[in-house]
Structure 1
Amino acid sequence: MIGLVLAAGAGRRLRPYTDTLPKALVPVGPEQDGEATTVLDIALKNFAEIGLTEVAVVVGYRKEAVYERQAALEAKYGLKITLVDNDKAEEWNNAYSLWCARDVLKKGVILANGDTVHPVSVEHSLLAARGDGRKIILALDTVKQLADEEMKVITDDGQGVQRITKLMDPAAATGEYIGVTLIEPEAAEELADALKTTFERDPDLYYEDGYQELVNRGFRIDVAPIGDVPWVEIDNHDDLAKGREIACLY
């Protein structure tokens, strides 16, 4: 199993930081060795802490900034990093971005969005939930008060995920998907096909819509509650301020 980070997005709501950097490289934490901590740093650190030795990073917008830091990040975290180019990062949404890593999925991955600041306990929760035929496991926050913007999930006891979308009544949701998933190698081909169907239907769709496509086909997707832990998805400047508070805890 290897780590996988989606770091191709432009993050336009975080300008001017993202005028020259992808969202995953916007500083969120204190400086270490003269470099400010980024969301990508946090993801890589988490992967290293759970014993992974290899990580793939999907890059697109301002990808040269990631290429420039690749060697330093490998040395810092003791990881072999492979960069996967997304040639449509500024045109299409992340269903296509995850599909670009379809060959990586065959190794089995822990996927982390490049804008999610979270503790390594999330990865531990996913690893602890492995087994019993589970092929895809979503990290789920069942504590947070939900609103319209969150990626909401409805689960059915014993049946896994029934629905995953932002477009639902928050009161109906079991919890929020936080942007971290464990994907076993056995799920790779079916997931890649579902993602392809999704972005071919509408290139502006999310990879979570690909998850819904899988569910609609009868594929079981499970969840792992992460407990009451501080995390944030960084979409705008308010989120960035919160991310900087949380990052200091790690």
Structure 2
Amino acid sequence: MIGLVLAAGAGRRLRPYTDTLPKALVPVDGETTVLDLTLGNFAEVGLTDVAVVIGYRGEAVRERQAALEKKYGVKLHLVVNDKAEEWNNAYSLWCARDVLKEGVILANGDTVHPVSVEQTLLGARGAGREIVLALDTVKKLADEEMKVVTADGQGVRRITKLMDPAEATGEYIGVTLIEPQAAEALADALKATFERDPQLYYEDGYQELVNRGFQVDVAPIGEVSWVEIDNHDDLERAREIACQY
């Protein structure tokens, strides 16, 4: 199993930082970036190979590659998303379809979270689970969150932002464990998703899988401080919690 980071997005709401950097390289604790924190988490749970999907300002990741490898003791493999500024992240994850065959822990490049999330996902392996989403069942939800409805014994039934928060079981935080045997089915679902609409999310690919009868499971992460960085308010929150990790 290896790590996988989606770091191709432009993050325009974080300008001026993202005028020259992808969102994953915006500092959240001194010079420490979201990518630093994620690589540190991966290293702590024993992942020594990490694929990073790059696109917008990908050269900034290339420039730091050797330093990041040395600092975290990992080998980085860069995967290029050639449509990062045009299409949404269903295509971005599909670009890493060959990586999925290794089995991965996937982390969004804009999610600040503690290593306990990766530990929870690894602890949920087995019993036939092929895809396991990290789920926050504690946080009070609003319109913007990626909301999930689950059913006992059936895993995810719905995953979408377009849902009444009161209906949701919890929020998907942008970290997933994907076993090798799920790679082909997921890649096919992602392809169908972005071919239907290039602006769809990879979570819509998860919904496509569910619609096809594939079981997608969840692992509640407990009461954990984390944030998805979409705007400057989120960035301030990230800076408040990143120093804890």
TM-score band (shorter)? over 0.9
Q: How does 1:1-250 map to 2 (within 5 A)?
A: 1-30=1-30, 36-250=31-245
* TM-score, reference length from structure 1: 0.98
Report the 3-state secondary structure (helix = DSSP H, G, I; strand = E; otherwise coil) of the residue aligned with 2:29: strand
Amino acid at match of 1:143: V
Report the 3-state secondary structure (helix = DSSP H, G, I; strand = E; otherwise coil) of the residue aligned with 1:246: helix
Count of residue pairs the alignment pairs up: 245
* TM-score, reference length from structure 2: 1.00
Residues in 2 aligned to 1:50 and 1:128: alpha-carbon distance in whole angstroms? 11
- Which consecutive unaligned segments of at least 5 residues does structure 1 have? 31-35
- Which consecutive unaligned segments of at least 5 residues does structure 2 have? none
Q: Which runs of 4+ in 1 moved over 4 A?
A: none
Cα-to-partner distance string for 1:15-38 (whole Å, 9 max, x where unaligned):
0000000000000013xxxxx000
Report the 3-state secondary structure (helix = DSSP H, G, I; strand = E; otherwise coil) of the residue aligned with 1:9: coil
Cα-to-partner distance string for 1:121-177 (whole Å, 9 max, x where unaligned):
000000011100000000000000000000000000110000000000000000000
Residues in 2 aligned to 1:229 and 1:90: alpha-carbon distance in whole angstroms? 32
Report the 3-state secondary structure (helix = DSSP H, G, I; strand = E; otherwise coil) of the residue aligned with 1:212: helix
| CA RMSD of superposed structures (Å) | 0.3
Amino acid at match of 1:39: V
Residues in 2 aligned to 1:113 and 1:246: alpha-carbon distance in whole angstroms? 17
Residues in 2 aligned to 1:177 and 1:140: alpha-carbon distance in whole angstroms? 5
Report the 3-state secondary structure (helix = DSSP H, G, I; strand = E; otherwise coil) of the residue aligned with 2:173: strand
